[in-house]
């Protein structure tokens, strides 16, 4: 697995919402990701950067440029444009 946080490639804006933002301690951050990195690899790196986020990432939805990632083993940004946006959305409660 490539170290997604340090491998040159595409710039990605990761945005955190609700409980994910609280767990990460930030609303957003920019990372460099290697072309072909998977959502699973990105989740590992995000969990290493923000240990409180690990449990949230296990149940969170990830969106890349507003499209849901259904299979975290597939390349995350293989076809994404530079400055892709990844949203981390925890399950929401209430109605």
Which domains does the chain carry?
A: 10-89 (3.10.20.30)
Burial class (CB in 10 A: 0-12, 13-18, 19+), 63: middle
How far separated are the first and last CA of the chain, in Å rounded?
A: 39
pLDDT of residue 77: 60
Q: Structure pTM?
A: 0.82
Residue 6: pLDDT band with limits 50, 70, 90? very low
pLDDT digits (tens, 9 = 90+) for 12-65: 899 999 999 999 999 999 998 887 889 999 999 999 999 999 999 999 999 988
pLDDT of residue 60: 94
Strands 61-64 and 84-89: antiparallel
Tokens encoding 22: 């609280």
Check pLDDT > 90 for residue 4: no
pLDDT of residue 37: 86
pLDDT digits (tens, 9 = 90+) for 66-87: 999 989 998 876 555 667 899 9
30 close to 65: Cβ distance less than 8 angstroms: no
């Amino acid at each position: 697995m490539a170290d997604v946080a340090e491998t040159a490639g595409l710039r990605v804006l990761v945005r955190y919402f609700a409980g994910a933002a609280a767990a990460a301690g930030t609303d957003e951050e920019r990372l460099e990701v290697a072309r072909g990195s998977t959502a699973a690899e990105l989740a590992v790196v995000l969990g290493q950067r923000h240990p409180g986020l690990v449990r949230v990432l296990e149940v969170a939805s990830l969106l890349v440029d507003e499209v849901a990632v259904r299979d975290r083993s597939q390349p995350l940004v293989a076809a994404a444009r530079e400055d892709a946006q990844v949203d981390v959305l925890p399950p929401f409660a209430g109605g």
